[in-house]
Structure 1
């Protein structure tokens, strides 16, 4: 397997002076000596002109001579190479890719919309130029495939217990790391280095979004009720203990049950309670 190799070309400024001198000698020879052989010198200088090129910072040129890979120029500047070299420009800059939102099914079959944000750059110019047909399109297609595979590996959410299973919503750090590993493995064939990959958009699909919202609201209400009841029980227990310790009133089991019932209604009710004042005895 051929790997990327760095090519160190000749400085373009030196060769520019050389071409200028050849043209000067050729023209002067024809004028002074009327010798057509000096036209070959001018022709040589003209043939050398296409060999000039420049490389911008974080850019590169892949050099190929009649199908034979001759290396990659990564140094920035003005250079000259064999004019018969084919030169393919490949950028080494970091790039952002924000994928389209794709509809897929999560691990439990719920349709969801998911999108990925990918930061990548070319590391191996040989692979990018020759191992795949179009490395930019390759990044898009493989990113889409990786997102679909990731979404099918995790449920969107877990309503029973958030700690029992890793989900797309609750385990973003672990999910993003898994996405980055998956993309790195897929894009390595094209010489692409994944700098960062993360989920940029995540939501239920429109056909189940409203139902799932109601389910989330119900789960939140149940959790809140659980806390309210738990707190109310503690308050009732504390009230009975204080009454008993301070000997404010002596209650039998039936009256304790009635007091507990009344306190639980007051503490757990959604609306304000209107108290009823008993002006009679405890038995009425």
Structure 2
């Protein structure tokens, strides 16, 4: 059985995303693995004269992390019960080390279908989606990744947005998105933002429409100088509940999200963002 990996710091933002994880686990008939990670501090050797003291600090932190973890697990189970999801199989993992490294390790070792995380404000969203190390994980795993903004409240997903440049990789990604949409009972609203000076390729668009004629997909083209602002507006106008992007390799996230206009997507997109993988 496929599983959903749910990394959490037990914050309100994370608990909000947990509700999404529960509903998707129910829809896709998956189990959930919750993951809480803590890190030992790097202690200044100038202030530590004996290794025993360092060991005591680490032991104290490990015990404190475990006690906090142990006290928060019932909270997650209460959330599941309150949302009618107490039947979802849930296992819990506590690990020490780097969060991203631990996510990558579990994705390699377990049949993870999705990684679902809460994002807390612009800084949290950037730290998760646009950090270099996280981008490495996203491009190095076969799991789909969903980031759930703090202000996004769960509702059944009936419309999925998908941004495309009408290239072969996007066509492959769209083919992967179709069974997800079918399971959710959702229509895909496929968006192409035509930049100024970019030639319109009617033949290519017609080819896509023919290739996906049997699927529940609507195709849209918007002429705009800003892909990011167009995505935000499109999501609001069409009442999109989940927006999907192809997670290109070779530094796609870093390159795409370096400009100030693109970062507006992190600030203003209020629906969960699904990163589809290549390959």
Q: TM-score, normalization: structure 1?
A: 0.22
Q: Which fold has the larger relative contact order, with Cα–Cα distance below 8 Å and residues 6 or more apart in sequence?
A: 2
Structure having the higher Rg: 1
